[in-house]
Structure 1
Amino acid sequence: MKRIIVLIPALLFSLSLLAQRNKNIPPTGSITCSEFAISRPLSEIAKEFPVDESKPYEKEESEDRENRKPQRFKFTVADGPEYGNDPATIQTKMGTVGTRAPLTSWPGQTATGFRPYDPSGAAGPSHYVQMINSTTFKVYNKTTGSVILTATLGNLWSPATGNAGDPIVLYDKAADRWFLAQFGTSSDRKIYIAISTTGDPTGTYYTYTFVSPAFPDYLKFGVWADGYYMTSNQAQKVFAFERTAMLAGNAASRAVYQSFSPPQSSGFFCPLPGDAADGTLPTVGAPCPIFSYSDNGWGAGYSDAVNIYQMSVDWVPTTPTATITLAANVATATFDASYNSSWNDVSQPGTTQKLDGIGGVCMYRAQWKSWSGYNTIVLNWAVNISATQRSIKWCELRQDQSTGSWSMYQEGIYLPDAATRWMGSIAMDDNGSIGMGYIKTDASAGIYPGLYYTGRRSCDPLGTLPITESLVIAGTGSQTGVNRVGDYAQLSMDPDGITFWYTGEYMGGTTGGSAARTHIYSFQLPNCSNAAAVFIAQTSGSNPMCPGASATFTATPTNGGSAPVYQWKVNGTNVGTNSTTYSTSSLVNGDVVTCVMTSNQAGVTGNPATSNAITMTVNSVSTPSVTIAQTAGTNPICAGSSATFTATPVNGGTTPSYQWQVNGSNVGTNSGSYSSSSLTNGQTVSCIMTSNALCVTTPTANSNTLTVAVQAVGDPVVTIAQTGGTAPACAGATLTYTATVTGGTPTFYQWKVDGANAGASASTFSSAGLGNGQTVSCTVTATPTCPVLTYKNLGTATTTNASTSSLGAAYPTYYGNGRQQYLIRASELTALGLSAGNMASIGFTTGTTLGDPATLNGYTIKIGTTTATAASATFLAPTFTTVYGPVNYTPTLSATNTHVFNTPFTWNGTSNLVVDICFSNQVVGNAAYATRYSSPGFNASAYYQADGAGGAGACTQATGATSTRRPNMVIAMANPTAMVNSNVLTANISALHSISGFAPTSGGSGTSVVITGTGFVNVTSVLFNGTPATSYTVNSPNQITAIAPAATTGPVTVLTSACGAVHAAGSFNYGSGLTLNLKLYIEGFYLGGGQMIGVLSPSVTDTVTAELASASPPYTILHTATGTVSTAGNASFLFPSAILGNSYYFVVKQRNTLETWSASPVLCNVSPITYDFSTGAATAYGSNLSDLKDGRYGIWSGDVNQDGLIESTDYSGIENAVTTFLYGYVPEDLTGDNIVEASDYSLVENNALLFLFAVRP
């Protein structure tokens, strides 16, 4: 209702102005592209701006009908048969030539509540693109019908344009480019054209904006050699756009327009340009033909004819020129193109609501094709049969290539039954066959509006469509409430030249206001020659496909006879069997599949026949991956502030899906980004991406994991630590302290000693003059990272805006889009007690009314400073800072919605502020959120609001209206600086220590030495000539007791942690020389009872050598002494050079015993020192002693030759000595009785059997 009250007067006024302006528009002119850009890849744009196809429009019809006044018909069939349809041209019987079922058929797009859809579409090598009003479009996989992406045309522009409608899609086959177009608004008169930069419709586009001299209603395009030609429902201007420049991405591409005056009635009228989009282009320089029809029913002077004009363009001058001349007025058989003046032409089952029969124009397209010697154009338009029936008139025109003259080749009116057929689109394939798609309904027969097609072969009788009508999809209901349907449909040719592609509107829902649907289908027509032919199509699997996937191809023969034979080929090599199908899973990229069919039909020509070729794309296998990064918000994040994370996929396909996770739990929605203001410190953010790419090793990929640092709101914290010098430190030493600030950025440091200022402003402080117990601290001035906020309410009234008004509303969705500016005077902020600082957030308080739409897309808040003291109808344009968004925001009801700024806004404390809010849903809104507002007594707001596509430019709208209402705001301000104090450290200073003496002043290892002096605090070591004491005890600051280590004579040193080392005045002296007393028995000399035989004298047994060996490898013999052992086993040895305090192995040797070592090194810290080998085997290394059987142990006897072994050579020597009666002091005498005899031999023999040898470490 609001549109009728508010917009109709303005619309009538604008139409009046438009009519006045049109009078002053020159008949010819040139325009240059006003805006040019190269878009990002459409696949990226579609992900960033997803289309909500379920979002309903308010039930409305396009306002373009306001530009389409009905034509006036002075004469009707009641005035004579010459004003009716020539019966000779009417086909009254259904054709009987059979044809194949549709090749493909799938649902197209809808826009809930919007009428009509105006579908347009075209097929390329691998894709089909369909556009409808609103203006959304989809890119489909041509083979499977699967949706690759959905987008709006306006989003190819940045900033996005509106999507006003009347879209046109063309595939420029000669250039392998996609052409997309729509018009702007009746006020901006813009023409938007996007041309793909490659043959990939999901890639980048060149975007061009041209401004027409008048609103280009019902624009229609055609591809020609030198331009994209456009006609529209305006003052009969034809436009040509510089095709060559636009294909090259020339930002200065030009267009030229030229008026002409074809025969026409007043009212709706739109010629059609010739369109060579899906065939071979005409020769360069050939003029583009322009087609329309005239009806003798318009009045005297008019005739039934097709009127052909031609336009030529000279692009060479800087300002191009164009001329339009009459080519021909080709007479037709009589027809009646009249229609209802209210556009109520077509009856439907079950309702009195009639539908628009689309009279007054040739239906899109005027397809141009070139043949040998002639060119063709096929046209169709609606004709009136009776008060209850309409149908389609069609014709084929031919142009002689040598003379350029045009003539009617054939014409007809398709009326095979009582049904109404309309919304036709017609085209010709490369065989010369004509296909025509249309809507059909029959109210009396209960046939709802559905989609059908028919056609003719080149050999069929002229003026007829003998191919049996094919149903594509039946209607299931009737439309009520509005008569708008379609406006146009589109039949285009596949690049293969024989496949027709149609998109149109029909009634596929239940009866009501939302019955309309769109559909897409393709078909082929049979040929009429006697030649054998075969057509192959892929009937299972996909193309592109994955390695190893299966694909099936099916052959359809023509004139194949009763038993055709098939030979399938891959790259020309025979494969498969004699079958209509061929299946394989071994294709590789680039393989070409064909089929040779041999017919058994008599008289067939061209036998055998080779099929069309299908080139296969086999994608390589890829591995998906995804990485995430924080793309909005601070790092670290302030508690309660929002952070946004964005995923970057690799091998994600066209529309990957995302599952965000926090600490491994699912969060968020299926979006390439995730935002949250509730994260806590240490939480992890990650993402699982699911790829829809065709050939992937695994569809899912896990991202990297980000650990979130969240900082609590509050003042910064400063901590100081000693980073130079020791603790404790020696008096006079330099100490350094360092301050570390967290949670803020420091701007000034003030160091303090005992609370008094000291040092310069730096993060470090050094001093050599600190005394023990003095304190060090630091006071820091810093900018907080997450400051404490002060909240103030600007405006306190509790009044809320009405849901049917956007005045004073922070979320003004009553008109689906809008821009608002709020002026805040500095005096208002200072009155609240605020001063210069960082503004951190703004909040608006909502009521209970849910806005429609509920979500504000691209909601953005900007702030700038101004000297203005009031808002004006021209939006203020200071230098803005974007502080919030753009985000798709859904306000919370009955709450303060706080918008935390992405970047704080710094207010200087004196300037007035402008808060600028905008959003653009490009939908129709029905209710605004209720927001509390106040009126501060001056024009505090400026606003602009618009429904639907009109809001696309909301954020750049320059003018609006003003109001004293301004939403109440909760403003959060942060103090820009804070002064914080550090912890306090106490200096630990030690005085220099000294040694006054020590006692005793000499001794060996293990001697307890008492050291006296002063300052024995924090002692770290006591040294004897550099060797650490075995242990020490600090008895008091004046005394230490230390145990002397094994060392050499030298000074005594005391070290402290603070002051290092001091030395005693004298040295501690270690004595030299070692007396070793051994207890040992010799096995052969042992008599028992602890006594040995006296060999040298009655009390002395024998001479023995003792040695001192190193305690560590290689166990070198260091000292040697020789002595005698008494019969009681006692021996004493003097080693003058041995050093007390060292450890040694003791080694004993005798003339006929095994060399024997002490069990382990012995610390020789006193002299004399005693060692007893007799008490147990374990006293010798390796327990290498003989058990003397009375509790005593002795050294083994028998090593006569002293080679460390007791073996055969020893007892051999004794055996010889026995036989020679050897006697005296000889080594063979093991028993010490001075004679070598059997007892000696027996002893050595027994010991040799024990495999005895000297055991050493």
Structure 2
Amino acid sequence: MKYNRFLLLLICNLVIAISIYGQKTVYYPSKVVKAQYFRKTLPLREMKVILPGDRDRSWKDGIIRNEENIKSANIKDDDVLYPGEDPVLQDYDGLVLHRGPILNFDGVGNVNGVIPPDTDGDVGPDHYFQMINLSFAIWDKEGNKLFGPVDNSTLWNGFIGPWTGTNDGDPIVLYDEMADRWLASQFAIFTSSGTFWQLIAISETGDPLGAYYQYAFEFPTFNDYPKFGIWPDAYYASFNMFGEYNRAATAAFDRDRMLEGDPDARMVLFDLPPGSDPFSMLPSDFDGTPPPQGTPNYFVYFNDDAWGYSADQLRIWEFRVDWNEPAASTFTESIILQTEPFKSQLCDAPRWQCIPQPNTELKLEAISDRLMYRLQYRNFGEYAVMVTNHTVNVNNTGIAGIRWYELRDYLDGNGWSIYQQSTYSPDDNSRWMGSIAMNGNGTIALGYSISSDTICPSIRYTGRSPEAPLGEMNYTEIEVISGLGSQGTYHRWGDYSMMSVDPVDDSTFWYTQEYSIGGWKTRICSFNFGPIIPPTVNVGPDTTICINEAFFRDPIAENFKNVFWTTSGDGFFQNPKRLKAAYLRGQEDINNGSVDLTLSVYGYLPGQTASDQLTLYIDSLPFADAGNDTIICTYNQYTLHGTAGNYSSVLWGTTGDGIFNDATLLNATYIPGTADTANGFVELFLTAYSLACEDSSISTMTLWFDPCFGIDEYDPASVRIRIFPNPNSGVFDLEVANIESKQLEIRMLNTKGQIIFNQLLTNFTGQFSKQFDMNLLEKGVYYIQIRVDGYSSTRKLIIR
């Protein structure tokens, strides 16, 4: 039985050797079709957007569907050539220091409640465009958000077809440098007709907020894991196709016609037959100088010898499209490049669930069976370059590292070769989900995810200068952002990230990747490997917060590696090691009314430190006092005596129809209205507004109106009249003192002048005191009139 299996394996390898080395495999198109649907949109800034949010995603539990690579899912043999130790391992960090990120800010978050994000983005002359599952946003190159986040389906809103209502994911966005246009795409697989589509939007101009040409191309089965590359003669793409059998597909889209908004734009599709070797390929995507005229687009993938191959290898295919005779287009195997040995399988768990995290048994997927996006191409005139990477098992330890390659074609007819290769793994942490690119100076940047039992999923990058020894990332590793929590519930991570190069200077790198704070978030950063500049920081002006508020500030800092916030008070920062930290004030801060906060930033060299300080004022609650209730003669004006504290402004108000001479003054004058005097009273309220907050304090006083009856009003200086309490519920005490009279008369009147009570005393001297019980009277205004020797004095009585 062992002999038969060995013979079968030998025969299979012989067949492969004949097809590969005897004659190159050539495929011809399986389909040439026009776009089934086309439409031009309004400018994006004017379009009706579809706001992100959770949808009915019961068909995938919020998980973006991706099938497994049939090769890695059916590993039969060990890595027969793997030596146990990686012969090109870089197990140390680079020593060349550099300035670190220029911009560093959060991208689109998980606003649709899905996993994974499939983080992708590209940079143009004036914009950065990020597109993830299942939303996108656009920033200027200062990091200011101009648009979004909105659902990706916004780009195809109003584009009616079987995909209407879908927003299925696996997005790609690329900037077409030659044409100054943007390409955005995602698949539509859960359609009303059960058909499968690739939706593509091409911007009409270089403005990503402008109008788009919408295209839809139908596929024979599920077109999974689409990856695009820009080339002068076409937009090229690769797919993993799933249906009755699994296989790969490649396609060329009619770039010239799509740029013109031609509804007859075509697609040349190679739906490779079952049993064919290519799977999870990447098309080449050029930056900078275009490739020489007539250069085919290159598709690359790797094979692990554990999958039944004679050696670990990169395989390169050539896609030559002929738009004059599309059926004559070819997809041809070009060359097999044997790599230094590697092992792609990290562990025995399904779907590569091998990446550890702190404080959880749940491990993340490594997706170590394929090259990571992009396959970047550059033309340097004398030679061409492609750079790519994938995840490997470092020295069979289960630690994930990144194997990266620089391929070169010296344009002399001998084709591609491996110029340099290395596995980057400077410590015992796992690095995976990489993206690599080279700028116009020949500098390489490699970004990736990092995680371990002690490091939550975070983002870092490293790089290589052109003069560095081959296979060495000689720049020190930089942390873009540190994760704050492990991902729970789901194993999915990725499925890709993207490193791009600024087309303006052809030097600055832009990178987007995900990290974890317990759930995933995305980050965008720009950087170059320029010389180290001392750090600078500006925390901004002093400010005031409300007593119940937390303090947030987004300082401006540059050229720093780490930061730390400190306080002179008893409050605390939620995360003092974050540039944008939140401060929660303490009781001592409140008592003092202010606290000094200091931000220190630390550069990339020892001793490089800068700091800046601000004073945070704690706004105490305002208070207001409108003064005591007061009685005035009817139709008289009244000068108020309000007081307030901890306020920025005050404002008087009235329940009646009177007016203030200036309602913003504490000592404003109130001029009663006719309704006020008719009612006999009016309530006036004073509002004090906080210095910096929405808090306010309101106090109310009542102004009563006394008609002041009679022309004989007289109050001898020696006579004292007291009513208490007043106002009252009908029970009150009346005191009249210092009386020297032959006759004392006490009257109680209503507002109509009718006498309700009357008492006459003759030959009375000294003090009169009596308690009255008038609680049977209606509530309202009454008057107590004291008549002494023909003169009278009136006091207002209020029964509530």
TM-score, normalised by the number of residues in structure 2 = 0.59
Answer 1 or 2: higher relative contact order, Cα 8 Å, separation at least 6. 2
- Are 1:519 and 2:520 matched, yes or no? no
Deviation string, structure 1 residues 673-723 (Cα, Å, up to 9, x no partner): xxxxxxxxxxxxxxxxxxxxxxxxxxxxxxxxxxxxxxxxxxxxxxxxxxx
- Are 1:279 and 2:275 matched, yes or no? no
Alignment of 1:315-354 (within 5 A): 315-317=323-325, 319-339=326-346, 340-354=349-363
What is aligned with 1:119?
119
Distance 1:49-1:459 versus aligned 2 partners, 3 A rule: same
What is aligned with 1:456?
464
What is aligned with 2:61?
60
Q: 1:190 aligns with which of 174, 187, 197?
A: 197
Q: 1:246 aligns with which of 255, 258, 262?
A: 258
Distance 1:555-1:506 versus aligned 2 partners, 3 A rule: closer
Q: State the one-letter code of the partner of 2:33.
A: I
Q: 2:77 aligns with which of 75, 84, 100?
A: 75
CA distance in 1, matches of 2:118, 2:90: 29
Distance 1:554-1:119 versus aligned 2 partners, 3 A rule: closer
What is aligned with 1:138?
137
Q: State the one-letter code of the partner of 1:381.
A: H
What is aligned with 1:423?
433
Alignment of 1:250-649 (within 5 A): 250-259=262-271, 269-276=279-286, 278-299=287-308, 301-317=309-325, 319-339=326-346, 340-385=349-394, 386=396, 388-443=398-453, 446-495=454-503, 496-507=505-516, 509-510=517-518, 515-526=519-530
What is aligned with 1:40?
42
What is aligned with 2:207?
200
CA distance in 2, matches of 1:540, 1:194: 41
Displacement of 1:177 in angstroms is: 0.2
Distance 1:393-1:61 versus aligned 2 partners, 3 A rule: farther
Secondary structure of the residue aligned to 1:448 is coil
Q: State the one-letter code of the partner of 1:307.
A: R
Contact 1:262 1:307 in 2 (8 A): no
Distance 1:384-1:263 versus aligned 2 partners, 3 A rule: farther
Q: State the one-letter code of the partner of 2:359.
A: G
CA distance in 1, matches of 2:266, 2:328: 11
Contact 1:376 1:396 in 2 (8 A): yes
CA distance in 1, matches of 2:361, 2:238: 35
What is aligned with 1:979?
none
Contact 2:393 2:400 in 1 (8 A): yes
Deviation string, structure 1 residues 261-304 (Cα, Å, up to 9, x no partner): 899879xx31011111x3222233211111011111112x4321
Q: State the one-letter code of the partner of 1:195.
A: I
Report the identity percentage: 36
Alignment of 1:917-928 (within 5 A): none
- Extract unaligned runs of 5+ from structure 2: 1-26, 242-246, 541-555, 560-800
CA distance in 2, matches of 1:297, 1:372: 38
CA distance in 1, matches of 2:196, 2:468: 46
Alignment coverage as a number of residue pairs = 497
CA distance in 2, matches of 1:486, 1:521: 17
Alignment of 1:986-1025 (within 5 A): none
Distance 1:161-1:349 versus aligned 2 partners, 3 A rule: same
Secondary structure of the residue aligned to 1:105 is strand
What is aligned with 1:1118?
none
Contact 2:282 2:371 in 1 (8 A): yes
Larger Rg: 1
What is aligned with 1:181?
185
What is aligned with 2:51?
51
Distance 1:150-1:296 versus aligned 2 partners, 3 A rule: same
Alignment of 1:760-771 (within 5 A): none
CA distance in 1, matches of 2:487, 2:85: 32
Deviation string, structure 1 residues 965-1008 (Cα, Å, up to 9, x no partner): xxxxxxxxxxxxxxxxxxxxxxxxxxxxxxxxxxxxxxxxxxxx
Distance 1:212-1:363 versus aligned 2 partners, 3 A rule: same
What is aligned with 1:172?
176
Deviation string, structure 1 residues 168-216 (Cα, Å, up to 9, x no partner): 0100011100000011116321010000000000000011100012221
Contact 1:260 1:324 in 2 (8 A): no
Distance 1:63-1:469 versus aligned 2 partners, 3 A rule: closer
Q: State the one-letter code of the partner of 1:311.
A: F
Contact 1:238 1:259 in 2 (8 A): yes
CA distance in 1, matches of 2:446, 2:61: 30
CA distance in 1, matches of 2:269, 2:55: 38
CA distance in 1, matches of 2:229, 2:43: 25
Displacement of 1:128 in angstroms is: 0.5
Secondary structure of the residue aligned to 1:353 is coil
Distance 1:333-1:86 versus aligned 2 partners, 3 A rule: farther
Alignment of 1:1153-1172 (within 5 A): none
CA distance in 1, matches of 2:354, 2:220: 33
- Extract unaligned runs of 5+ from structure 1: 1-24, 528-532, 542-552, 557-1257
Displacement of 1:494 in angstroms is: 0.9
Secondary structure of the residue aligned to 2:109 is coil
Distance 1:30-1:56 versus aligned 2 partners, 3 A rule: closer
CA distance in 2, matches of 1:181, 1:246: 13
CA distance in 2, matches of 1:245, 1:489: 29
What is aligned with 2:31?
29
Contact 1:96 1:467 in 2 (8 A): yes
Alignment of 1:208-247 (within 5 A): 208-234=215-241, 235-247=247-259
Contact 2:511 2:524 in 1 (8 A): yes
CA distance in 1, matches of 2:426, 2:178: 38
CA distance in 1, matches of 2:250, 2:54: 38
Displacement of 1:237 in angstroms is: 1.9
CA distance in 2, matches of 1:417, 1:306: 26
Contact 1:238 1:257 in 2 (8 A): yes
What is aligned with 1:107?
106
CA distance in 2, matches of 1:437, 1:242: 32
Deviation string, structure 1 residues 1195-1250 (Cα, Å, up to 9, x no partner): xxxxxxxxxxxxxxxxxxxxxxxxxxxxxxxxxxxxxxxxxxxxxxxxxxxxxxxx
CA distance in 1, matches of 2:356, 2:401: 13
Contact 2:390 2:402 in 1 (8 A): yes
Distance 1:440-1:37 versus aligned 2 partners, 3 A rule: same
Contact 1:491 1:500 in 2 (8 A): yes
Deviation string, structure 1 residues 529-553 (Cα, Å, up to 9, x no partner): xxxx99xx9x999xxxxxxxxxxx9
Q: State the one-letter code of the partner of 1:380.
A: N
Q: State the one-letter code of the partner of 1:522.
A: S
Deviation string, structure 1 residues 938-990 (Cα, Å, up to 9, x no partner): xxxxxxxxxxxxxxxxxxxxxxxxxxxxxxxxxxxxxxxxxxxxxxxxxxxxx
Contact 1:30 1:321 in 2 (8 A): no
Displacement of 1:499 in angstroms is: 0.9
Distance 1:540-1:189 versus aligned 2 partners, 3 A rule: farther
Contact 1:397 1:409 in 2 (8 A): yes
Displacement of 1:402 in angstroms is: 2.5
Secondary structure of the residue aligned to 1:297 is helix
Contact 2:29 2:327 in 1 (8 A): no
What is aligned with 2:631?
none
CA distance in 2, matches of 1:414, 1:261: 36
What is aligned with 1:162?
166
What is aligned with 2:95?
96
TM-score, normalised by the number of residues in structure 1 = 0.38
Secondary structure of the residue aligned to 1:65 is coil
